[in-house]
Amino acid sequence: MSDLGEHWNKIYQETDEEQLGWYETDYSATFDLLQYIPDWKNSKIFIAGAGTSGLIDILLKSNVKLIINDLSTEVI
């Protein structure tokens, strides 16, 4: 594993999800931005650094096609 992967694995192992700087419970801003993409529900959406985002679960329930990427194996 790369040094970056090990770095992010350690962060996810040692930090409560709610304490992560990018943690959020309200995804409305993301959905507001998605509205600017014509026919976004039929597009493929790439999520870089997906982490433990609950946004992915919401999008999957909406049958959106996702391409998900993360350096950490801890978030899978």
Is 0.75 surpassed by the pTM of this model? no
What are the residue boundaries of the structural domains of the chain, listed by start?
A: 3-69
Residues of the chain with pLDDT under 70: 1, 76
40-53: pLDDT as tens digits: 999 999 998 888 88
Query: What is the spatial distance between Cα 42 and Cα 33, in angstroms, rounded to a whole number?
Result: 15
pLDDT of residue 1: 54
Tokens for 50? 């997906």
pLDDT of residue 65: 93
pLDDT of residue 50: 84
3-state secondary structure the chain: CCHHHHHHHHHHHHCCHHHCCCCCCCCHHHHHHHCCCCCHHHCEEEEECCCCCCHHHHHHHCCCEEEEECCCCCCC
